[in-house]
Structure 1
Amino acid sequence: MSDEQRPQQAPNGATSSAAGDDSTPAKTDDAAVTRSARAGGRSGGPWGGMGMPAEKALDMRGTLSRLLGDLRDHRVALVGIIVLGVLSVALAVIGPKLLGNATNIVFAGFLSRNLPDGITREQALEGLRASGNDQLADLLEPLNFVPGAGVDFRALAIILAWVLVVYLGSFLFGWLQARITAIVVQTSMYRLRQRVEAKLGRVPLKYFDGQPRGEVLSRVTNDIDNIAQTMSQTLAQLITSVLTVIGVLVMMFVISPLLALIALVTVPLSALVTALIAKRSQPQFIRQWRTTGELNGHIEEMYTGHALVKVFGQQPAAQRTFDDKNGELYDASFKAQFISGTIQPAMGFIANLNYVIVAVIGGLRVASGTMTLGDVQAFIQYSRQFTQPITQIAAMMNMLQSGAASAERVYALLDAEEQTPDPAAPERLERVSGRVAFEDVSFSYSPDAPLIEDLSLVAEPGQTVAIVGPTGAGKTTLVNLIMRFYDVDAGRITLDGVDTREMTRDDLRRSVGMVLQDTWLFEGTIAQNIVYPIEATRHGGELTPEISARMMRAAEATHVDAFVHSLPDGFDTVVTEEGGSLSAGERQLLTIARAFVADPPILILDEATSSVDTRTEVLVQKAMNALRVGRTSFVIAHRLSTITGADVIVVMEHGRIVEQGSHAELLERDGAYRRLYQSQFAAPVEEEPDEASVH
């Protein structure tokens, strides 16, 4: 990717991308690569990872620990979630025992209603054994009954009322827990998005050079949404499931230690099955989210460059690439979901096996009189409650793996190398006159490929400095260094005698207006696009009469008003990022008008008139000449006819200034500038026919 092709953010909202100089090799953030490799990702775009070895295992434990660490600001809420979970689970665990007691009342009433009235419980049991009804006596012995009384409906009603209260209380505590969990998760994701947004403003331009925009967007949107979904469905549920296992296990041992031990056999079996399945599904989740980012990157590239794809007839190739990536995503998603989806059926099988064993042994113990029917019923419910949270935990491993894979990708972005911070006590210029000086500047995008070496250049206030040279000479790199999109490796750049590294980037860039070759418009009205540099208008602010007058002056100076008045809605016409019905020249005029509104002391024009027609170019050049009065201007140009009036013309080759001077002076020297000029304007010389060839 050339440095002119690299996306750039101009100050004051004059944003665009330039094209033409190819001196900059694509760079990839080493820190991001390291983190991406840990997450099983591939750097360098949709095709950058072809032939790479298999992905390394995801550091799931470390990632989840870091994710939980991000919740430390919600300690009180997390304690509340745990407390509410304890209360909800405790009430839910009491319920089966109460229902078991209700069953015992009904069972004892039906068994004892045919016994003689007026005798004691002990006398009734002795009479049954004396008459040979030992089995009935064994069934009645653990129960509390009154011979001949039948079912005690009053006691039954009281127990059922308590059951209703217990389950209602469990529901209310669970509802509160879910609500607080939603607040915690969404607040955390809100802050995570803020951190990512702030991080994107701190990473250097080279990070975006090595990352497809679709991949970055996937991390900011899809991955964060997946983390939110994972936390929403696992945070409270995981706490509840663990507490349920503990509570149910306690009640099971209280009812029957033997059956509890039998039920516990399923725990290591479930854990073993879960671990084996998770080990196979985890790499597929990593592959799934990596491929999602790659597919998004390809779609974004094909969408933004759809005209170019059609011009060169590459739709079939683009479709094949899409099909390959889509097929890989299908394969990874299918395997991830299918493999992890077998966890729940496997847990269900183990749970049913446990149910059968408990039912058989419990029935034998009821028949022998060592347990009541209500206790067996309660234990079966507890065994279901015991295996259910284990099954849920196992199923949550599915989401946890997917969420951890997404979190790893987001953290790779958050851990990416940042640009050097602004100074703690920055230099501030009361008034910028616009003197820009390069003092022995050296810079390279890659240590093994020097680009600019020992470059010195001074632009006095009000001067127009034109920068020309062949493709790859480093023209746009020079502009990037002025804007501090990159920092110099050696030497320094000063603004009015102050090293730009001693200023904040915001202060520096507020002093510069920039118009690039490729236009950038956002979805909104033409008026909103023009006044974008004015802070008061960026968040829905009204166009005051003063701002409107300022906009109209800019529109008239750049001849935007000439075509805007022909539109049905005038300045209220809504345009999209692609410009809608506006021509390339009209879009370029809008970006030039945007720079006029910014009214900066320094202007950077990178082939700013390349998209306008010859007549409009003449008008724009006149307007720019008026605008440049009293301002320092840097003009990058390939068409030398547009810069003949520049105060200083700088000719660059291979990152060095080989010539500088006025247009007339450089033509007289018969050097690099003259050769460039003649290559554009000198008529080709016809070769005389070779005499020998004629004959």
Structure 2
Amino acid sequence: MNNLVKYLKKSTLSIIFIVTLLVGQAVCELSLPDYTSNIVNVGIQQGGVENAAPKIIRKSELDKIMIFLNSSDKGTVLDNYKLLSKDTLSDSELKEYKQEYSILEEENLYELNTTDKDTIDELNNILSKPILIVSGIEKGGDQVDIMKKQLMANLPPQSQTEDIDLFTILSSIPKENLDSIINEMDKTFDNLPETMVEQSAINYVKGEYEAIGVNIEKLQNSYIIRTGLIMLGITLLSVMASVLVGLLGAKVAATLGKDLRSSVFKKVMSFSNKEITEFSTASLITRSTNDIQQVQTMMVMFLRIVFYAPILGLGGVLKVLQTNTSMTWIIGVGVAAVLVLVIIMFLVVMPRFKILQSLVDRVNLVSREILTGLPVIRAFSTEKYEEKRFEKANKDLTKVNVFVNRVMSCMMPAMMFIMNALTVIIVWNGAHSIDSGSMQVGDMMAFIQYTMQIVMSFLMISMVSVMLPRALVSLDRIDKVINTDLSIKDPKKAVEFNTEKKGVVEFKNVSFRYPDAEEDILTNINFTANPGETTAFIGSTGSGKSTLINLIPRFFDVTEGEILVDGVNIKDVTQHDLREKIGYVPQKGVLFSGTIDSNLRYGKKDATEEDIIKASRIAQATEFIDSKPEKYDTEISQGGNNVSGGQKQRLSIARAIAKNPEIYIFDDSFSALDFKTDSKLRKALTEEISESTILIVAQRISTILHAEQIVVLDEGKIVGIGTHKELLKNCEVYKQIALSQLSKEELANE
């Protein structure tokens, strides 16, 4: 994980920008339920009237309301309302107001002159109950008539007229008596929820607007359209943030994938055969592709969800607490249900994720083996067996994948069930609250939306949590490759080659044992190969010939002793400098996709056309190259599958010759050539590259008859060194090999 942070450093600014955008998106998402609630509560139920404090009210009505206010509240109300009358308005103002409020011709009005939300909330609290009292009195009824009779009884006889209204009576009675009456009236509202009191007051305000001449339908439509446009704008901002997060997240993840692939590839390129064997080629391919893809996908999800979900969930909880605290237990139930579901999934799916990637490795391994060995499979008619082998690997992977996907597919229906169940519970409880007047329909809708947002945030985190194990397994597999300690390293302080001993190869008491092997495969090897000479290695199968050759370019490192090139221990120079001196031809010819020319220039990009033609001529490849219509520009398919084995081998030899190195290593490279071509090629090598050191591993005696030095190996030990004639006399192993290939007469003639 620390390495992952290191790779993400270059994307720090993008990640910060992503987090900023996610915060903005979450704020947008969390604000929408409030607007939905307002559309239902204010736009539909209240006809667009937002507050109990009216924006415009007749003076006569405000005077009635003022009766039920104390002196402090009266002062607050009068401070925030402006009187509109013929006397206080200029002609132009009066004309403008008359267009909107035609009743101004007959009656004075009061207009709210503040837009401060806190002040309006204060006015709502002050005016709600008095408005409700005034509304009740104006509606009349038996209780109002009884109150009027009781109060008239206390008035002087001259004031007791039938046309006197209750408001006039209340305004004329002593303050102590009025306060007592108001207190009694207030007690009737104690059991009523504030929302019901405010709703009732708003209904009065709505009626007042109609009386003044305000177009209620226009007011309602205007409020709904305005709120809807705000919601649309917020949604567009949220969408823009989401799109930008997606783009930036994909860029960060793609950059991470590119860097990881580059690091893995560079590390694998520095692997020796030991590390390649430990991981296997198929596994390294999986780690470079599928595993990195898993991490890349996880990073997109991580950036998109892990930062966003907590903000959304926490914001949703805070909003819910502001909406209605009596139903917060429902959220607890929902979150608990989600957590139980996720824990069950973790327990079921986690073990499968741990083996999934190894099964992908297995499928890649089997596929690679079958495709590489297809000719052999067909030759032995084992197609059915290989089909069964692949089918087993395929079925094992499919079985685990199907299981994981089935469990994952169950998650969404289960989550939908939980969310719908929560909606039903909220509606059930909310209906009772709406019926009792403690909640409005819009508030219930907002509560449902906030609850869904909270549950969805937990769901998103859960989805990431389910994906996380597989990504962590992949990350661990990638990390093991990147952090593998190399068995073959360059020295901290590299030395230069000795120019006076150009092309000299010396083995001094060299022993070698493969990693984890119990016995040495090479023991106490000593010899010197000089420039201008051919040193050949021969021995029975498994005697260690190829292993010995592979120690020179440091494909493996010696266990004991030392190898000197130009008088310098090869461990004291860089691998690059060492291999620059060597022209290596493997036992099996390897070509790369491209052209014949690009393959021959592989070891020396700046080789001239003459160099390429000369190398081809020495390697006896000119004849078949010239027969091609495009000659050196002829395309070579992947792996050189469009040329024969002998042609592939000759091109491999030509590639090494074109490099013009000091040392040539031919690891049984002539085995694919016929005797005639073999003879011509060896003769050309002797004539054209006589100044270089030539090391040849061979199975055929005829290939090495004229070598200046032949090293005979048997069970990892040197049992003879000398020329062909010398070894025939004093090396029984060589003599037996020679007699197995040539008759006594042929050996005598040679």
TM-score by length of 2: 0.77
Quick check: 1:437 aligned with 2:493?
A: no
| 1:136, distance to aligned residue in structure 2 (A) | 12
| 1:66, distance to aligned residue in structure 2 (A) | 5.7
**Of the candidates 634, 647, 656, which is equivalent to residue 717 of structure 2?**
656
Distance verdict in 2 for CA 1:124–1:68, change over 3 Å: farther
Match of 1:160 in 2: 228
CA contact (8 A) 1:439 1:455 kept: yes
Distance verdict in 2 for CA 1:123–1:319, change over 3 Å: same
| Local SS of the residue matching 2:608 | helix
- Mapping for residues 622-661 of structure 1, pairs under 5 Å: 622-661=683-722
Match of 2:450 in 1: 382
| 1:398, distance to aligned residue in structure 2 (A) | 3.1
| Local SS of the residue matching 1:486 | coil
Partners of 1:258 and 1:94 in 2: how far apart?
A: 21
Partners of 2:229 and 2:638 in 1: how far apart?
A: 64
Distance verdict in 2 for CA 1:66–1:242, change over 3 Å: farther
Match of 2:673 in 1: 612
Distance verdict in 2 for CA 1:128–1:498, change over 3 Å: farther
Partners of 1:618 and 1:555 in 2: how far apart?
A: 16
**Of the candidates 197, 209, 222, which is equivalent to residue 141 of structure 1?**
197
Structure number with higher relative contact order (C-alpha < 8 Å, ≥ 6 residues apart): 1
CA contact (8 A) 1:204 1:485 kept: yes
Partners of 1:272 and 1:306 in 2: how far apart?
A: 51
CA RMSD of aligned residues (A): 2.8
Q: Which runs of 5+ in 2 are unaligned?
A: 66-130, 143-188, 211-215, 746-750
**Of the candidates 579, 590, 610, which is equivalent to residue 520 of structure 1?**
590
Higher helix share: 2
Distance verdict in 2 for CA 1:165–1:131, change over 3 Å: farther
Partners of 1:357 and 1:224 in 2: how far apart?
A: 44
**Of the candidates 84, 107, 132, which is equivalent to residue 122 of structure 1?**
132
| Local SS of the residue matching 2:713 | strand
| Local SS of the residue matching 2:495 | coil
What amino acid is aligned across from residue 147 of structure 1 in structure 2? K
Partners of 1:319 and 1:627 in 2: how far apart?
A: 50
Q: Could you report, residue by residue, the CA deviation over 1:631-655 in whole angstroms, capped at 9, with x for unpaired residues?
A: 1111000001110111110001111
Match of 2:256 in 1: 188
Quick check: 1:267 aligned with 2:204?
A: no
- Mapping for residues 391-470 of structure 1, pairs under 5 Å: 391-429=459-497, 431=499, 433-445=502-514, 446-470=516-540
| Local SS of the residue matching 1:483 | coil
Partners of 1:425 and 1:408 in 2: how far apart?
A: 32
CA contact (8 A) 1:223 1:407 kept: yes
Between 1:462-471 and 1:441-450, the stretch displaced more is 441-450
- Mapping for residues 239-278 of structure 1, pairs under 5 Å: 239-278=307-346
What amino acid is aligned across from residue 358 of structure 1 in structure 2? I
Quick check: 1:322 aligned with 2:390?
A: yes
Give percent identity, aligned residues only. Answer: 26
CA contact (8 A) 1:203 1:417 kept: no
What amino acid is aligned across from residue 475 of structure 1 in structure 2? K
Between 1:174-183 and 1:435-444, the stretch displaced more is 174-183
Partners of 1:195 and 1:129 in 2: how far apart?
A: 83
| Local SS of the residue matching 2:206 | coil
CA contact (8 A) 1:515 1:591 kept: yes
Q: Which runs of 5+ in 1 are unaligned?
A: 1-62, 537-545, 685-695
Distance verdict in 2 for CA 1:101–1:129, change over 3 Å: farther
**Of the candidates 352, 362, 366, which is equivalent to residue 298 of structure 1?**
366
Partners of 2:450 and 2:136 in 1: how far apart?
A: 34
What amino acid is aligned across from residue 23 of structure 2 in structure 1? V
**Of the candidates 28, 37, 42, which is equivalent to residue 100 of structure 1?**
37
Quick check: 1:499 aligned with 2:569?
A: yes
Match of 1:575 in 2: 636
Partners of 2:503 and 2:345 in 1: how far apart?
A: 66
Q: Could you report, residue by residue, the CA deviation over 1:12-63 in whole angstroms, capped at 9, with x for unpaired residues?
A: xxxxxxxxxxxxxxxxxxxxxxxxxxxxxxxxxxxxxxxxxxxxxxxxxxx6
Match of 1:226 in 2: 294
Partners of 1:327 and 1:362 in 2: how far apart?
A: 52
Between 1:242-251 and 1:359-368, the stretch displaced more is 359-368
CA contact (8 A) 2:720 2:731 kept: no
CA contact (8 A) 1:103 1:373 kept: yes
Between 1:244-253 and 1:98-107, the stretch displaced more is 98-107
* Equivalences, count: 611
Partners of 1:557 and 1:574 in 2: how far apart?
A: 22
Q: Could you report, residue by residue, the CA deviation over 1:189-245 in whole angstroms, capped at 9, with x for unpaired residues?
A: 111111101110222211222443222211111111122122213322221122111
Quick check: 1:359 aligned with 2:427?
A: yes
TM-score by length of 1: 0.83
**Of the candidates 270, 284, 288, which is equivalent to residue 216 of structure 1?**
284
| Local SS of the residue matching 1:170 | helix
Partners of 1:414 and 1:467 in 2: how far apart?
A: 37
| Local SS of the residue matching 1:326 | helix
Match of 2:238 in 1: 170
What amino acid is aligned across from residue 359 of structure 2 in structure 1? T
**Of the candidates 70, 74, 80, which is equivalent to residue 17 of structure 2?**
80
| 1:128, distance to aligned residue in structure 2 (A) | 9.8
What amino acid is aligned across from residue 579 of structure 1 in structure 2? G
| 1:315, distance to aligned residue in structure 2 (A) | 1.1
Quick check: 1:584 aligned with 2:645?
A: yes
| 1:367, distance to aligned residue in structure 2 (A) | 1.9
CA contact (8 A) 1:534 1:598 kept: yes
| 1:139, distance to aligned residue in structure 2 (A) | 7.2
Distance verdict in 2 for CA 1:330–1:506, change over 3 Å: same
- Mapping for residues 32-51 of structure 1, pairs under 5 Å: none
What amino acid is aligned across from residue 518 of structure 2 in structure 1? D
Distance verdict in 2 for CA 1:614–1:380, change over 3 Å: same
Q: Could you report, residue by residue, the CA deviation over 1:547-599 in whole angstroms, capped at 9, with x for unpaired residues?
A: 22221121222222211121122221112134344221111111111011100
CA contact (8 A) 2:48 2:223 kept: no
| 1:166, distance to aligned residue in structure 2 (A) | 1.9
Partners of 2:585 and 2:655 in 1: how far apart?
A: 9
CA contact (8 A) 1:139 1:368 kept: no
Match of 1:44 in 2: none
Partners of 1:475 and 1:568 in 2: how far apart?
A: 40
Whose Rg is larger? 2
**Of the candidates 627, 636, 639, which is equivalent to residue 566 of structure 1?**
627
CA contact (8 A) 2:619 2:681 kept: yes
CA contact (8 A) 1:640 1:677 kept: yes
| 1:131, distance to aligned residue in structure 2 (A) | 6.6
Partners of 1:387 and 1:129 in 2: how far apart?
A: 47
Match of 1:549 in 2: 610
Match of 1:89 in 2: 26
What amino acid is aligned across from residue 653 of structure 2 in structure 1? I
Between 1:402-411 and 1:437-446, the stretch displaced more is 402-411
